[in-house]
Amino acid sequence: FSQLAASVGLSSSTGSGSSPGEGGILAGHYDVCIAGAGLSGAVLAERYASQLGHKVLVVEKRAHIGGNCFDYIDKDTGVRVSQYGAHLFHTYFDDVWDYVQKFGPWTPYEHKVRGIVNGKDVPIPVNIETVNILFDLNIQSQEEMDEWLKKEQIPNDNPQNSEEVALSRVGKRLYELIFKPYTFKQWNKYPVELGPEVLQRIPVRNNWDERYFSDPHQALPTNGYTSLFENMFKSQHITVLTNTDYFQIRDKVSCGKHYFSGPIDAYFAEQKLPKLEYRSLEFERKVEENTQFFQQAFVVNHPQDNDDYTRIVEYKHLYNQSHLPHTVYFIERSKDGGEPYYPVPNKRNKDLFKQYQNLAKKEEKTKNVSFVGRLANYKYFNMDQAINNALELFTKDTGIAYTMSSL
């Protein structure tokens, strides 16, 4: 990270209690201290520094900035890869789209996913091609597809869980093939055990549209996500401390206001409430020498239970990297424990989160700490929602609204 720090003019350090300690970086007063250098932390740091000229300290436990968006060049193959899984930026929010333009160029990219189902290669989400291939049909129009879907669907105006969502959208046969086994591998829970929001993420199409998302803005940061974060942290008012545990330093540094973007139950670990549940991921890296591509698409899902993994991601499909001589791909499996990636939205966790939220409200009043982001809100935010959440929080706390192209 020191190289990265040097190249973007950040202050950085490795480890709490070492040289930056009492006499160095921690000695000064900061207007704002932020735990976490992911999206939420980056937006808040950038807003406070650029908009208000405030002095900001960002404390990051990992060795790098960017949270789970962090990407880098794989040294054996030269391919740009993401350390924590595929990240596709898409948004309906015009102001979020406008905001991210400030931190580097973007290349339009519409994500398309294939799935291997009953040995056949089909588009996911379900569209006309998916059902024609899987059920040997010859549907040719939206009207025919609507009719076919209507026969399959089990209507439900108010689904209470993800099984009811899937059955009302695609019916039992596609549910059993694509959604039930994948969801079990991903969450170690069946869709009936998860809130409706999990399977509501995946649309169903009555046409030939193969896109994974429908948002008007879909793109990749042309120079990668890490570069975007470097630009967000670029201000001279921002100090980033990596390899540093916020809990170890917070009493040693003077801060006007705190933001915490880590897991909310880690913050309140001493309160003796039960822990919230998180699902984590594991990536098995494979290199293929002298191979243009290993698979036909960037992401290929393996929904059925004949494989123990959920998907395979081959980053070489992005960023015009097809000329590179080798490829690298990652087999993705879910697990409990490890780095927290996904909040698990079921009743137990949602109820428990409310108790943590009450603690958070008190903490906010008494200690001037605000909670922000996916892990602190215990919500399955997409990247744009995380940015939006942080922009809204900045407005709430400062009274300054982000207006488009106001920078």
Binding site for ligand UDP (CB under 6 A): 115, 124, 178-179, 182-183, 186, 198-199, 201-202, 301, 303
State the minimum distance, in angstroms, from the CB of residue 192 to ligand UDP. 12
Whether 83 contacts 390, CB under 8 Å: no
Nearer to ligand UDP (CB atom), residue 115 or residue 224: 115
State the minimum distance, in angstroms, from the CB of residue 198 to ligand UDP. 5
State the minimum distance, in angstroms, from the CB of residue 380 to ligand UDP. 7
Whether 309 contacts 299, CB under 8 Å: no
Neighbours of 350 (CB within 10 A): 14
Whether 261 contacts 370, CB under 8 Å: no
Three-state SS letters, 51-74:
HHCCCEEEECCCCCCCHHHCEEEC
Gap between the Cα atoms of 238 and 267, Å rounded: 23
β-strands 113-117, 120-124 pairing: antiparallel
Nearer to ligand UDP (CB atom), residue 300 or residue 390: 300
293 membership: H or E segment, kind and range: none
- Dihedral class, residue 397 (left if φ above 0, else alpha if ψ from -120 to 50, else beta): alpha
The closest alpha carbon to 33, from 262, 238, 268, belongs to: 238
State the minimum distance, in angstroms, from the CB of residue 115 to ligand UDP. 5
Nearer to ligand UDP (CB atom), residue 237 or residue 279: 279
State the minimum distance, in angstroms, from the CB of residue 292 to ligand UDP. 25
Nearer to ligand UDP (CB atom), residue 184 or residue 268: 184
β-strands 106-108, 217-221 pairing: antiparallel
Nearer to ligand UDP (CB atom), residue 20 or residue 343: 343
Nearer to ligand UDP (CB atom), residue 20 or residue 303: 303
Nearer to ligand UDP (CB atom), residue 26 or residue 166: 166
The closest alpha carbon to 111, from 93, 123, 98, belongs to: 123
Nearer to ligand UDP (CB atom), residue 88 or residue 390: 88
| Two tokens, residue 359 | 């603690």
β-strands 327-336, 278-288 pairing: antiparallel
State the minimum distance, in angstroms, from the CB of residue 5 to ligand UDP. 30
DSSP designation for 75: T
State the minimum distance, in angstroms, from the CB of residue 124 to ligand UDP. 5
State the minimum distance, in angstroms, from the CB of residue 87 to ligand UDP. 9
Whether 210 contacts 127, CB under 8 Å: yes
DSSP designation for 242: B
